[in-house]
Amino acid sequence: MDWSRHRVLVTGAAGFIASHTCQALLARGATVIGLDDFDAYYPRPFKERTLAEIRKTPGADDRFAFVEADICDATAMNQLFSDEQLTGVIHLAARAGVRPSLEQPKRYAQVNLEGTTILMEAARRANVKRFIMASSSSVYGNNEKVPFAETDDVSSPISPYAASKRACELMGHVFHHLYDMEIACLRFFTVFGPRQRPDLAIAKFIEIIRRDQTIPMFGDGTTSRDYTYIDDIVAGVVASYEKVPDYGYRIWNLGGNDPVNLKEMIATIGRVLGKEPRVEQREMQAGDVSRTYADLTRSTAELGYKPTTSFEEGVRRQWNWAREHLAG
Ligand SMILES: NC(=O)c1ccc[n+]([C@@H]2O[C@H](COP(=O)([O-])OP(=O)(O)OC[C@H]3O[C@@H](n4cnc5c(N)ncnc54)[C@H](O)[C@@H]3O)[C@@H](O)[C@H]2O)c1
């Protein structure tokens, strides 16, 4: 694909996954319009630093523009789509995070479902057909069958966040059916690496261990996650943008293919930091699923997706980045 002909709106650009996606698109020669509203879910300075890293990417001076706006502002979104000659959208902005969604279900429904719908509607009006959106492994809820495949039943989410992501997938199907839009829903499995959201476990535990504090471990340590390194996720996002016209509407799992349980996760971080973690067991939290594990058969066959970074190597890279960039 000739990326130099593409002008892509990337939402959530000051966030973790979208910032790496912007850099990958710039490296391929695309023009990128990054959009973010610096949602207060985690501190603005963290996001400003993320944005500054995008601006240092070769090509960013000429081919990267940033817009501060809220995806729920329909007027602003319609204006943006009519001003910019976009070829596609990679929509990664969201209220992310499972546990806080129990406190603020309405906010999650607004930003995730209403915001996504506003964006799809703005894209439809501007005749922008290609639309990639972030979904989540959380849509699988506590399904017993592993690994989780795209064809599995996902009618039993267990958090407002998970339900909002499934609702976006369904609304995506509507826009494909009615307007022939090319829609991909990417079910990300716990993503980690440099610039990871500070509320996520690996980033939090790195900070706790480096300060010799005690890690609160929810449950008995046997819950597991199919952690996925950021570069692998971004490769899948880019491939989905290239391939979605062949499918019209498609859901793809993007996982790490190597679930790690919580105890092993903590031990690995300790090993990488060269410290013995101190752990205090707490009760399992409501809304948390017991395990995630991606079946990658479809994404490997259709996207050529193949994660290559091991968990320990990824943690090492995240630690090297945290050591350099976060106040110690
Ligand atoms: N990180 C993971 O492990 C993971 C797993 C599954 C799915 N996801 C999904 O991937 C996407 C990116 O996640 P992330 O971890 O990079 O999160 P992030 O919070 O770092 O990035 C999301 C960005 O969206 C922005 N945003 C929020 N509301 C907005 C609004 N109304 N208008 C404009 N911008 C807004 C935020 O300011 C933030 O910078 C999200 O859709 C998330 O639900 C992430």
For ligand 1, say whether the CB of 96 is within 6 Å of any of its atoms.
Answer: yes
Q: What is the pLDDT of residues 212-260, one digit of tens each?
A: 999 999 999 999 999 999 999 999 999 999 999 999 999 999 999 889 9
Residues with a catalytic annotation lie at: 161
Q: What is the pLDDT of residue 156?
A: 96
Q: What is the DSSP string of 94-131?
A: S---SHHHHH-HHHHIIIIIIHHHHHHHHHHHTT--EE
Q: What is the mean pLDDT of residues 1-15?
A: 98
Element of type H or E holding 182: strand 182-188
Q: What is the pLDDT of residues 88-103, one digit of tens each?
A: 999 999 999 999 999 9
Residue whose C-alpha is closest to residue 12's, from 89, 79, 84: 89
Q: What is the pLDDT of residues 173-226, one digit of tens each?
A: 999 999 999 999 999 999 999 999 999 999 999 999 999 999 999 999 999 999
Average model confidence (pLDDT) across the chain:
97
Cis peptide before 147 (omega within 30 of 0): yes
Q: What is the pLDDT of residues 257-290, one digit of tens each?
A: 889 999 999 999 999 999 999 999 999 888 888 8
Burial class, 144, CB count within 10 angstroms (exposed 0-12 / middle 13-18 / buried 19+): exposed
**Best probe residue, ligand 1, of 16, 71, 240 (max atoms within 8 Å of C-beta):** 16
Q: What is the DSSP string of 131-169?
A: EEEEEEGGGGTT-SSSSB-TTS------SHHHHHHHHHH
Please count the other Cβ atoms lying within 10 Å of the Cβ belonging to residue 209: 22
Element of type H or E holding 32: strand 31-36
Beta carbons within 8 Å of 159's beta carbon, 6+ residues apart: 98, 99, 101, 102, 138, 287
Euclidean distance between CA atoms 268 and 248, whole angstroms: 41
Query: Sorting pLDDT into bands at 50, 70 and 90, what band is 297?
Result: very high
What is the pTM for the complete model shown? 0.98
Residue whose C-alpha is closest to residue 164's, from 106, 206, 118: 106
Q: What is the pLDDT of residue 25?
A: 98
Q: What is the pLDDT of residue 328?
A: 58
**Best probe residue, ligand 1, of 44, 139, 188 (max atoms within 8 Å of C-beta):** 188
- 228 alpha carbon to ligand 1 midpoint, in Å? 16
| Residue 279 near residue 132, CB atoms below 8 Å | no
74-83 vs 115-125: helix axis angle to the nearest 10?
A: 30
> Which protein residue's CA is at the shortest distance from atom 21 of ligand 1?
15
Q: What is the mean pLDDT of residues 24-36?
A: 98
Euclidean distance between CA atoms 229 and 48, whole angstroms: 22
In the chain, the domains with their CATH numbers are: 3-192+228-256+289-307 (3.40.50.720)
- 187 alpha carbon to ligand 1 midpoint, in Å? 13
For ligand 1, say whether the CB of 289 is within 6 Å of any of its atoms.
Answer: no
Q: Which atom of ligand 1 is nearest to the CA of 39?
A: 37
Give the chain's length: 328
